[in-house]
Structure 1
Amino acid sequence: MNSQLQRNLVFNTAGSLLFYVCQAVMNLLVTALAGVEANGLLATAMTIANVALSAASFGMRTFQVSDLRGQYADRTYLLSRYLTVALAWTGCMAFAFVNTYSAQQRWVIFLYAGYRLVESWSDVWHAYLQKAERMDIVGISFGVRGLLTAGTVVAGLLLTHDLIITLAVLLVLNAGYVLAVDIPLARRRADLKSREGGSVASLLWQCLPLAVYASINTSIGSVPRYFCERILGSVALNYFANVFLPVMLLQVAAVYLFVPFITTFARLWNDRDAAGWRKALRLGTLALAALWAAGAAGVALLGRWGLNLLYPSTPEILQYTGLLQPLVICAVLTVASTVLCNLLTIARAMGALIAGNLIGLAAALIASPLLIPALGLWGTALATMAGLGAQAVSLGIFLWMAGRRQFV
């Protein structure tokens, strides 16, 4: 492993994890500094903004990074992102005005959605850096913006006691960092003058299956949670989500570790390097096995202690410590499915991508109403595992079939 790849792995993983953690604690900070009512406004905005972020990103990052032959110009990717971000932000506000939200809630939705859409806006610039194998810059960007997020929320609420002003400053600072740092660094590694290749409309049409797959993929893990809340109640769902939280860190870290390798896999695929591709897949499989072993050992040794440390005010959650083991498997399956989805995107196997995710969604829809009434939260974990397992297996089969066609 060369020094730049090592640097990419360290900085991208550390910075992205820091950004994820800082975003995850926003609810806790707002509740502590501004009260439950303000956090309720923020929670509503978060739900809406998550949908907007998915729509704006259009599932395009891996497609852009793996476009090594220049099917579309760098300028085309940039223009398409401006269009999708504008439409997503407009859609957020249309939703806010169609529903009977207060003026305060609408401002919170507008500003928080803008803050999250900075992530989608910066994503297209980060893809230029990733193609140039400078994921270390991307990781530093995420780390700085994560600290900006936590620091702004704390300072803003302490000084102004106003969530709207705090979110406005948060939006300006994050957008300012992208303008001042990310864009100048990425512009050096992009050819924004070239107009060769397909149009914006053609790019969006070709990537539409990726946007569809991204929505389906998110639903696979959401279906068991929906049935959990409907059947067992919101309190039970809260316990399930809280137990899953520390495992999510393992999952997120593993996904971020894989991101720098996307360019490597794309080159192996485009060069029809069968030996290199298969070797990379074997190493990836071994890494997943090591991830499961580390996660299983970690929760066995530290799981109960960790839950007690995280949730000292709700000791009853300790009775669900046993959930950690199946949830580690769910995390590993999520990582496997994410990797396989990226590899099928590199292979441009859009139909297989959607089919594999639909199979996972169908498995989750079938398993959830059968297992959750009988087994409670353990049924929720098993239904999640069933959906993710079916997804991973089907995607793996489709990738194997695509590989046989590519490496003849």
Structure 2
Amino acid sequence: MRTVEQASSARLSLRANFSWTFAGNIVFAACQWGMLIVLAKIGSPELVGQFALASAITVPVLMLTNMQLRDIQATDARREYPFKDYLGLRLLTTMLALLFIAGTVLVLGYRGETALVIMTFGLFKAAEAISDIVFGLLQQHERMDRVAQSLIIKGLLSLIALGSVVYLTGSLFLGVLGLAVAWLAVIVLFDLRSLALILGDTVPTGARIPRPRWHRPNLLALTRLALPMGLVMMLISLATSIPRFFVGRYLGEHTLGIFAALTYLQVAGMTVVSALGQSALPRLSQHYAAGNRAAFRGLLLRMAAIGLVLGGGGVLVALVAGRLLLELIYQPEYAAYADFFVWVMVAAGITYLSWLLGEGMKAARYLRVQVVLFGVQVIVLTILCIWLIPVYGLVGVAIMMVVAALIHLIGTLLILARATAALPVGPVSEASYKEQTRP
């Protein structure tokens, strides 16, 4: 009988996994943006606003309850927990997330189509959460080809389902329901086959997947391990969702649709930033572990320079061709907000720089302090939204975005200064490094 270790013998090379991951992420991100463009083209800004509001309410909740279990599972080299434990915890937390989303809809007083869209969007994200835990097992066994193929299929089906249903019916609720059905279909027809490929004979005869296990000691241990990561991801998600929530609350779904469409144009730059950061992180970690301050700072400065060029280029494009770009990608109505788009790209440029420098925090293993950093950012965002948006409208939103981005940048620089101060001027031995830096 095959064991899990034997099943993983079919793992791909690092180059193949990287290639598949890059391709899958690019196609999936393009399809996600495509959905927003389709809604803007065939629908109204109110429709885009409803979609953005549903995302703003549901995504932070799922980010918290997902607890980055995929990463925990992918790095579980000793196989301390079997897949059925991860699956059991994910099913449990996802059900709790759906209940919380339903309660939020009731408490905030959403009714009619908006309430249906939010609840159905929650079902769509719940399907994504189940698929994500399957991806964790595939990543653990270095089969990123199956992950990428699943993402590509889901991205294309999502774009087709949402676009065609909204075009034919005019209903965003039915369009989002189509998204959920499409994802469930891919989970059943593709992701479960991937599970069978990895688990093989470890699954009982006649079963497609192992049954989830709700073993209390394991569930509690996994929760203690993963909850801090979930908290960080929730705070990061809230930094995006809070402005959308308050724009929708104070300025209406029409303005929220405009805001969501314009801010989504930051994604192109963030794709480059993420790729650069992920590629540089191992090298940064090596420099920091070796106590090589010069090399660590040098690489960070080069990354910062790229971030400045990328951000400056985005601002320049917004200044020179922002109106034309918005009209071509969306509709002429969006082009009227070209001045606001410039400030969106200013905030984006600062964010690019912060995220690239943030890789230095990860390399130095300054992880818990990130909860404080993002927590402060979320608190400031909330205060600024309540203070500025009702009085100044989108001008207040622009001020809020730039100030929040600057707070993130300043906090990152302060943490990096502390991390760098722990390093000697030149390279030292690993033993000396451990004595001179914090545990």
**Contact 1:251/1:334 (CA < 8 Å) preserved in 2?**
no
Deviations along 1:169-223, one digit per CA (max 9) or x if unpaired, are 3212212212322343255446977999961111112222222222333344566
Moved more, 98-107 or 67-76: 98-107
Deviations along 1:24-46, one digit per CA (max 9) or x if unpaired, are 44355346546666656544433
Q: Distance in 2 between matches of 1:224 and 1:96?
A: 18
Instruction: Determine if the alignment matches structure 1 residue 80 to structure 2 residue 83.
Output: no
The 3 A distance-change label for structure 1 pair 10 and 365 is same
Q: Distance in 1 between matches of 2:259 and 2:114?
A: 28
Match of 1:202 in 2: 221
The 3 A distance-change label for structure 1 pair 168 and 328 is closer
The 3 A distance-change label for structure 1 pair 235 and 142 is same
Q: Distance in 2 between matches of 1:391 and 1:172?
A: 42
Q: Distance in 2 between matches of 1:363 and 1:143?
A: 37
Match of 1:213 in 2: 232
Instruction: Determine if the alignment matches structure 1 residue 355 to structure 2 residue 358.
Output: no
AA matched with 1:210: M
The 3 A distance-change label for structure 1 pair 129 and 338 is farther
Aligned counterpart for 1:20 among listed residues 29, 44, 54: 29
Instruction: Determine if the alignment matches structure 1 residue 179 to structure 2 residue 188.
Output: yes
Q: Rg bigger for which structure?
A: 2
Match of 1:290 in 2: 306
Q: Distance in 1 between matches of 2:243 and 2:112?
A: 34
The 3 A distance-change label for structure 1 pair 217 and 314 is closer
**Contact 2:45/2:253 (CA < 8 Å) preserved in 1?**
no
Match of 2:409 in 1: 389
AA matched with 1:174: W
Match of 2:352 in 1: 332
SS in 1 for 2:337: helix
Match of 2:3 in 1: none
Q: Distance in 2 between matches of 1:247 and 1:91?
A: 30
**TM superposition shift of 1:302:** 7.0
- Unmatched runs of 5 consecutive residues or more in structure 2: 1-11, 204-209, 424-429
Aligned counterpart for 2:122 among listed residues 91, 94, 113: 113
Deviations along 1:82-107, one digit per CA (max 9) or x if unpaired, are 21112112222333355554465544
Q: Distance in 2 between matches of 1:342 and 1:60?
A: 18
Q: Distance in 2 between matches of 1:167 and 1:159?
A: 13
Q: Distance in 1 between matches of 2:84 and 2:246?
A: 44
The 3 A distance-change label for structure 1 pair 219 and 114 is closer
Match of 1:380 in 2: 400
Q: Distance in 2 between matches of 1:366 and 1:99?
A: 19
AA matched with 2:94: V
Q: Distance in 2 between matches of 1:370 and 1:98?
A: 22
The 3 A distance-change label for structure 1 pair 335 and 134 is farther
**TM superposition shift of 1:225:** 7.5
Q: Distance in 2 between matches of 1:261 and 1:190?
A: 33
**TM superposition shift of 1:389:** 0.8
AA matched with 2:368: G
Q: Distance in 2 between matches of 1:164 and 1:371?
A: 32
SS in 2 for 1:16: helix
Q: Distance in 2 between matches of 1:266 and 1:183?
A: 37
Q: Distance in 2 between matches of 1:59 and 1:233?
A: 33
The 3 A distance-change label for structure 1 pair 398 and 185 is farther
The 3 A distance-change label for structure 1 pair 252 and 362 is same
Q: Distance in 2 between matches of 1:47 and 1:247?
A: 17
**TM superposition shift of 1:114:** 1.2
Instruction: Determine if the alignment matches structure 1 residue 125 to structure 2 residue 125.
Output: no
Moved more, 208-217 or 67-76: 67-76
The 3 A distance-change label for structure 1 pair 76 and 49 is same
AA matched with 1:114: L
**Contact 1:16/1:256 (CA < 8 Å) preserved in 2?**
no
- Unmatched runs of 5 consecutive residues or more in structure 1: none
**TM superposition shift of 1:73:** 3.6
Moved more, 95-104 or 185-194: 185-194
Q: Distance in 1 between matches of 2:104 and 2:385?
A: 30
**Contact 2:388/2:400 (CA < 8 Å) preserved in 1?**
yes
Match of 1:152 in 2: 161
**CA-atom RMSD, angstroms?**
4.8
**TM superposition shift of 1:250:** 0.8
Q: Distance in 1 between matches of 2:39 and 2:245?
A: 25
AA matched with 2:120: L
AA matched with 2:356: A
Moved more, 221-230 or 93-102: 221-230
Q: Distance in 2 between matches of 1:89 and 1:356?
A: 28
**Contact 2:277/2:356 (CA < 8 Å) preserved in 1?**
no
Aligned counterpart for 2:55 among listed residues 46, 54, 62: 46
The 3 A distance-change label for structure 1 pair 171 and 361 is closer
| Matched length | 400
Aligned counterpart for 1:56 among listed residues 62, 65, 68: 65
Aligned counterpart for 1:255 among listed residues 274, 277, 281: 274
Q: Distance in 2 between matches of 1:317 and 1:220?
A: 22
Where do residues 317-328 of structure 1 align in structure 2 (5 Å cutoff)?
317-320=337-340, 322-323=342-343, 326-328=346-348
Aligned counterpart for 1:246 among listed residues 244, 258, 265: 265
User: TM-score, normalised on structure 1?
Assistant: 0.74
Deviations along 1:1-50, one digit per CA (max 9) or x if unpaired, are xx944444444334324333433443553465466666565444333322
**TM superposition shift of 1:251:** 0.9
The 3 A distance-change label for structure 1 pair 75 and 184 is same
User: TM-score, normalised on structure 2?
Assistant: 0.70
